[in-house]
Amino acid sequence: MRFFLMTLFAAVTVALIVILNSTMVLPAPLGKLMSPQHGVWQNAEPYDLDYNATLSFPQLKEKAIVYLDDRLVPHIFAQNDEDALFIQGYLHARFRLWQMEFQARAAGGRLSEIVGPDLINFDRNQRRLGMVFAAENSVKEVEKDPELLAAYNAYTAGVNSYIETLTDRTLPLEYKLMGYQPEKWSNLKSALFLKFMALDLAGFEEDFEMTNARSVFSKEVFQKLYPIASDSLDPIVPKGTQFAPEPEPLVIPESAEETYYDNRTTNNITGIKPDKSNGSNNWAVGGSKTQSGYPILCNDPHLGLNMPSLWYEIQISTPDYNSYGVSFPGAPCVIIGFNDSIAFGFTNAMRDVRDYYEVKFKDESRQEYWFDSAWHKTEFRIEKIVVKGQPDFLDTVAYTNIGPVMYDKSYTGNRNTGNKDYAVRWKAHDPSNEGKTFYLLNRAKNYDDYLKAIKNLQVPGQNCIFSSKTGDIAIWDQGNFPAKWYRQGDFIMEGDNSDYFWQYNIPQEQNPHQVNPDRGFVSSANQLPTDTTYPYYLGGNYPPYRGFEINRRLYTMDNITPEDMMKLQTDNYNLFGEIAAPEIISRIPEDQLNDTDRKYFEALKNWDYVNAPDAIAPTIFKLVWDELYKIIFDDEFKATGLTLAKPHNSTLVDIIKRNDTTFTFYDNINTPEVETLEDNVAAAFKKCIPTFIQLEKEGRLEWTKYKDTRVQHLARIDALSSLHLYNGGGEFSINATKEQHGPSWRMVVQLTPETDAYGVYPGGQSGNPGSRYYDTFIDHWTKGEYYKLWVMNKADAGNDKVKHTMQFNPSTN
Amino acid sequence: MKFISSLLLIAILSYVLGLFLPWWTIAIAAFVVCWLIPQKGFASFLSGFLAVFLLWGIMSYMISAANHDILAHRISELLLKKDNPTMLILVTGLIGGVVAGFAALSGSFAHKKLRRR
């Protein structure tokens, strides 16, 4: 009996341990997780944790020192570049390892390995797009460049030297929660991360949706719905600028008119898409417009708002250079920032550098494809996707002379018709060395150095803004862009001949740019870089409003101070509202409104077009506009049974303002009556009233509550995110803060002899949710406040701001 | 007296083993102590349970206090769907306590079996 009881209770104990040590029964291994000596409690850093350390590494050449200030920003002082970047790698890993690895995994399509079969399609999409192929090509370029290779090697060694110190207990929290271990870092992972940014910034395309649209609308209607430029365009390079002609004329295929423009083949693809409004603002004002007489450079890249943040603030100081700004955990150098001579920043150039071609294979085996009147051998790349809890998934991807066949029978990406094969031509596949841009910018001293640095930037194309202490301001719409003929690449193209191929790249010196213009400022906010006299086709995905508003303000501003620039960056004025709201208000039949309706109508009528956090008018405007848009387009669009590209909001408001009587979409095709714009506006407003009432009851009619900005943890864990932030702005405001997207780093740099810089990002320097530094900056960022950026001199070691000191010594073994 | 000394021994042994070995060595600690020090079944369970409940509870309380409960707020939200650090600390103790309790119980029966031989 006793033996039986002993065995029974021993069995119960073992069973409990097994249950609490695994995820077989419980969603989390609670025993392992909650043990104070092993689990998540180990990640609860003491509030006053001492980061002081003396560390030795055989890879270091000389002694170096890192001062951590009161915001946990590291100030690295190293004797040479490799040591500095080794330390940067070490610090990135020390404070952001999980995020670095997670992002590299996401980039390379390796999430199923840690999450499970739900993400197989995500992984396949990344692999088929050739993300790893692209990163490998990039590494090859780095390896040809000894200087940069040394930099990458040092960075990677720094990351790995931290990973080597980790034990099960000291693993970052997310590894424990998700139950996996970090891998060694590599130069390929850094390259993958940069390709991830390329995908985020230069991965937007609507080729299938546009092809569908072109197949159902007449040429005239199509042109009306999908124009190139908005009426509100104020391009990056002002209208009227003279451009040199193309070096050789672009040959438009003869068949374009009938087969390309009038392609009746339809496809329905809804792939994974970057946020359409991955945009940004940047501008630089020259000394003639500032109070100090020195230039001021400003930048706020709009990206997904995540925790841990995409950005990590850092100062890197060596005898050669002294740079300060934000870096990408996962890559060496400062990415947006300044040094003792210049400042630099970026906005997205929005060019379409990703096009699809239909491939003709000889047979099912796909061993050969037809191209320029001959069969050619296909190459295959077998992608092995490791899946948690399941056997590996093997995906065979065919490669033709165009690139990877992204969509085929085995992977349709939600396409509903056809057994066709589509290869993707993506500029990011080409060998390039983007890392060199930042490497050189960190040590650039003047305009020439800047120009030399940015010439390495091929994909993603960026509007590179520049300013120097010697008074220069400049902007280059830089990238390696294919020279396209009108509408080339907007639709799926023929892949069996070279007629539709990109013919050559736009010569770099023809990229739109401006240097020290008379108007005293340069700026960009993702608008079309030029007017339509530019000799090449630029595509049609450019938001016009932020750029217009920034320029309108900068034209009139004088005696500018950094504070003025901070105010401008956080400005909530909604230019789209200014243009569109009066069109709505004037068409709402006031005499037919009851008291409830009237309350909301009055709010809209009295709106000052500011997306203030506590205002209700922005919510009312957005809801009515979106409803109006649906009423106008949904009937015709749904009747096609296809996924069509959506016309831009700016396109619709331009049509309304032009009083275009030939525009037929106002009529609802499902009713016998012929509706007018007035009918649509009245219907939209009426339809929104119950929503207004409901939102008001729930206390969510105020713009900030309706918008409900959050900074979300990368693994989408709410408990590790910052939710319900109180702020204004929105898509059409300079302060482009949306639900989970917005200014990811606000920076204002005045290039006085002693640099006067300010910045803030929504996050914190530590990626550990158990650290007080995890979300330190969120509050400041939400309120639109900035930190003064402290460019430290080594002599400042005794300053009160220095809270911790890390000594890095070379070890001899 | 036996109860108190068992409890203390289990707690100390659990702590020491936990420094080097996986978390479930608390079961070994409880089993061994209750095997060596004879107690009634329920008393042994209680000594094992209380020892690790208190050990884990106090340790997590101290860690969390030093952390100003920053992580406990987030983890309780995540695991318990409730922002309650105290409850997270109690749950921590409970998990360790139950495992150690059953291990202790099983150990006490092992002891009696050996003595009878």
- Average pLDDT of span A752-758: 98
pLDDT tens-digit profile of A216-239?
Answer: 898 899 999 999 999 999 999 999
pLDDT tens-digit profile of A346-384?
Answer: 999 999 999 999 999 999 999 999 999 999 999 999 999
Residue with token string 């309790």: B101
Residue A256 has pLDDT above 90, yes or no: no
CATH number of the domain within which A624 lies? 1.10.1400
With an 8 Å Cβ cutoff, the interface of chain B facing chain A consists of 15, 18-19, 22-24, 27, 31, 41, 56, 59-60, 63-64, 66-68, 70-72, 74-75, 77-79, 91-92, 95-96, 98-99, 102-103, 105-106, 109-110, 112-113, 116
Q: Using 50, 70 and 90 to split pLDDT, how confident is the model at A279? A: confident
Residue B117 has pLDDT above 80, yes or no: no
pLDDT of residue A205: 82
Percent of chain A exceeding pLDDT 90 equals 89
Under an 8 A CB cutoff, do B109 and A9 touch? yes
Distance of residue A482 Cα from the nearest chain B Cα, in angstroms: 48
- Among candidates B24, B31, B71 on the partner chain, residue whose Cβ is nearest the Cβ of A769: B71
The three-state secondary structure class of A644 is: coil
- Average pLDDT of span A412-424: 76
Distance of residue B9 Cα from the nearest chain A Cα, in angstroms: 18
A810 Cβ partners below 8 Å, 6+ apart? A56, A57, A58, A59, A60, A61, A62, A63
pLDDT of residue A268: 56
For the complex shown, is ipTM > 0.85?
Answer: yes
Q: Using 50, 70 and 90 to split pLDDT, how confident is the model at A277? A: low
A383 vs A398: CA distance, rounded Å: 11
Residue A273 has pLDDT above 70, yes or no: no
Contact B76, B34 (CB under 8 A): no
Average pLDDT, chain B: 93
Question: E strand or H helix at A195, and its extent?
Answer: helix A187-202
Residues on chain B touching A7 (C-beta within 8 angstroms): 106
Q: CA-nearest residue of chain A to B17?
A: A37
Lowest mean pLDDT, pick from A307-316, A412-421, A708-717: A412-421
Q: Using 50, 70 and 90 to split pLDDT, how confident is the model at B110? A: confident
Under an 8 A CB cutoff, do A34 and B15 touch? no
CA A26-A32-A35 angle, to 5 degrees, is 120
pLDDT tens-digit profile of A728-737?
Answer: 999 999 999 9
pLDDT tens-digit profile of A665-688?
Answer: 999 999 999 999 999 999 999 999
Residues within 8 A of B (CB atoms), A 765-794 only: 769-772, 774
- Average pLDDT of span A406-425: 81
- Among candidates B56, B95, B106 on the partner chain, residue whose Cβ is nearest the Cβ of A10: B106
Residues within 8 A of B (CB atoms), A 698-737 only: 717-720
Residue A259 has pLDDT above 70, yes or no: no
- Average pLDDT of span A734-741: 95
Whole-model pTM?
Answer: 0.96
Task: Annotate A487-544 with three-state secondary structure.
Answer: CCCCCCEECCCHHHCCCCECCHHHCCEEECCCCCEEEECCCCCCCCCCCCCCCCCCCC
Q: Does A19 touch chain B (CB under 8 A)?
A: no
Residue A313 CB neighbour total at 10 angstroms: 26
pLDDT of residue A254: 86
Residue B116 has pLDDT above 70, yes or no: no
Contact A296, A751 (CB under 8 A): yes
Could you tell me whether strands A722-725 and A709-713 are parallel, antiparallel, or unpaired per DSSP bridges?
A: antiparallel
- Tally of domains within chain A: 1
- Among candidates A2, A30, A719 on the partner chain, residue whose Cβ is nearest the Cβ of B74: A719
pLDDT of residue A666: 97
Residue A11 has pLDDT above 90, yes or no: yes
Q: Does A10 touch chain B (CB under 8 A)?
A: yes
pLDDT of residue A271: 52
**Between residues A414 and B40, the one the model is more confident about:** B40
Under an 8 A CB cutoff, do A43 and B71 touch? yes
Residue with token string 């006067």: A756
Under an 8 A CB cutoff, do B23 and A5 touch? no
**Between residues A511 and A214, the one the model is more confident about:** A511
Residue A315 has pLDDT above 80, yes or no: yes
pLDDT of residue A267: 56
pLDDT tens-digit profile of A105-129?
Answer: 999 999 999 999 999 999 999 999 9
Under an 8 A CB cutoff, do B96 and A31 touch? yes
Contact A485, A519 (CB under 8 A): no
Q: Using 50, 70 and 90 to split pLDDT, how confident is the model at B113? A: low
Could you tell me whether strands A405-407 and A521-524 are parallel, antiparallel, or unpaired per DSSP bridges?
A: unpaired
- Among candidates B18, B79, B110 on the partner chain, residue whose Cβ is nearest the Cβ of A35: B18
Residue A652 has pLDDT above 70, yes or no: yes
pLDDT of residue A109: 97
- Among candidates B23, B67, B113 on the partner chain, residue whose Cβ is nearest the Cβ of A32: B23
Residues on chain A touching B31 (C-beta within 8 angstroms): 10, 13
Task: Put the strands of the sheet holding A421-426 in their side by side order.
Answer: A405-407, A421-426, A354-359, A493-494
- Among candidates B23, B102, B116 on the partner chain, residue whose Cβ is nearest the Cβ of A31: B23
Distance of residue B4 Cα from the nearest chain A Cα, in angstroms: 22
pLDDT tens-digit profile of A522-556?
Answer: 999 999 999 999 999 998 889 999 999 999 999 99
Q: CA-nearest residue of chain B to A30?
A: B95
Average pLDDT, chain A: 94
Q: Residue A658 is part of which domain span?
A: 575-707
pLDDT tens-digit profile of A481-498?
Answer: 999 999 999 998 999 999
CA A200-A203-A205 angle, to 5 degrees, is 135
Contact A628, A665 (CB under 8 A): no
**Taking chain B, what is the end-to-end CA distance rounded to the nearest angstrom?**
26
**Between residues B117 and A38, the one the model is more confident about:** A38
Q: CA-nearest residue of chain A to B73?
A: A719
Residues on chain A touching B67 (C-beta within 8 angstroms): 44-47, 770
A72 vs A91: CA distance, rounded Å: 11
Task: Annotate B28-93 with three-state secondary structure.
Answer: HHHHHHHHHCCCCHHHHHHHHHHHHHHHHHHHHHHHHHHCCCHHHHHHHHHHCCCCCHHHHHHHHH
